[in-house]
Amino acid sequence: MRQLVGVVGFRGYSGAELVKILAAHRRVEPVLLEHGQDGDDPRPFRLPKGLLKIPCRPELVAEHSLAAVFLATPPEVSMELTRPLLETGAKVIDLSGAFRLRTAERYAHWYKEQHTDAGLLAEAVYGLPEFYREQIRGARLISNPGCYPTAANLAIRPLIRSGLLDRSRGLICDAKSGVSGAGRKPSLKTSFCEVTENFSLYSILNHRHVPEVLLNSGLEEEEFSFTAHLLPVDRGILETIYCRTSVGKTTEDLLSAYRQEYAAEPFIRIYPQGHMPDLLSVAHTNFCDIGVTVAPASGRVVVASAIDNLVKGAAGQAIQNMNLCMGFAETEGLL
């Protein structure tokens, strides 16, 4: 008998991906939770048929004994819904940025609005299983990481922990994302004719995902530069990271550090020397693929980190978190 879990925002790209993965999960069954009205879907078979659909109201969530609720909603909606949903006894896994930073001040700075439930910030666990697995297991409220920070944090922390990063030289992350990362709401910037055959920069040096990397990777603010770009693809993130190691260190030295750090991780794949990840390798998977190239004579390092922004960067990681906090096998439904 599968436990019921709810999805708010199931019409968006992350929400629909959640529903699709959950529908094939052997331990849970998704329930569609209607909130607000964003109209019907033009594709009659976009979501699986036969799922329960109910209004997103705490009493109904309680009545149906939902074990967990995923919020694939804007941060202002997540801030409003989280507390009443927690009070039903459900775990809450929030895919917005509402609970990723640790203080109301930082939230207000980066998200340009007041936090309306700052009391929950201290409790929220940052849902990056490779870093915080134990805390996630016991969490009631999980803040699912942003897509860019997922690829960045996983690529950066081993460099720091292994001592292989020359911290005096800083680290630059040139990040490229597919369009689904911008959500499903129509806008000129994400219109087909503005994106196809195009490529552009945005949020140069001041993307709101920067503090998530600083909080979790071990880098200091003055060490980290981040710029985002929009790729003419539906899904996928590739980040090219530039930094330095000691002169004489080899590609193999750095790969060893990565392999050691992630030896037990089911969703991290370290590439063999001479290979670098690309978007198609991770599309529709929960993997984060990492490759490294070093120029030993200069100590130059290029690290490439690739994920599917809707899976490891959103829905897949959220389900990985659900698996952990509900006691299922971590990879259930994700391989």
- Residue 175 tokens read as 């990040």
Residue 304 and residue 241: Cα distance in Å, rounded? 6
Which residues touch 130 (CB under 8 Å, ≥6 apart)?
154, 262, 265, 267, 268
Instruction: Tell me which of 187, 263, 264, 327 binds its own copies, using CB under 8 A.
Output: 187
Q: Is 264 in the site for its own copies (CB under 8 A)?
A: no
Q: Which segment (102-110, 131-139, 171-179, 317-325) binds its own copies by CB under 8 A?
A: 171-179
Residue 280 and residue 111: Cα distance in Å, rounded? 32
Q: Is 167 in the site for its own copies (CB under 8 A)?
A: no
Q: Is 269 in the site for its own copies (CB under 8 A)?
A: yes
- Phi, psi angles (nearest 5°) of residue 240: -105, 120
Catalytic-residue membership of 325: no
Shortest distance in whole angstroms from residue 66 CB to its own copies: 24
The DSSP element (H or E) to which 93 belongs, if any, is strand 91-94
Shortest distance in whole angstroms from residue 176 CB to its own copies: 6
Q: Which segment (103-111, 140-148, 189-197, 260-268) binds its own copies by CB under 8 A?
A: 189-197
Bridge partners of residue 240, in order along the sequence: 174, 304
Shortest distance in whole angstroms from residue 2 CB to its own copies: 15
Secondary structure of 218-259 in HEC code, one letter for each residue: CCCHHHEEEEEEECCCCCCEEEEEEEECCCCCCHHHHHHHHH
Shortest distance in whole angstroms from residue 127 CB to its own copies: 24
Q: Is 319 in the site for its own copies (CB under 8 A)?
A: no
Shortest distance in whole angstroms from residue 134 CB to its own copies: 28
Q: Which is nearer to its own copies, 58 or 183 (CB)?
A: 183
Nearest Cα to Cα of residue 246 among 294, 203, 292: 294
Cβ–Cβ under 8 Å, residues 290 and 307: no
Q: Which residues bind its own copies (CB under 8 A)?
A: 13, 24, 42-46, 169-170, 172, 174, 176, 178-180, 184, 186-201, 204-206, 222, 225, 227, 229, 231-236, 238, 240, 242, 269, 271-272, 275-281, 283-284, 287, 289, 293, 295, 298, 300, 302, 304, 335
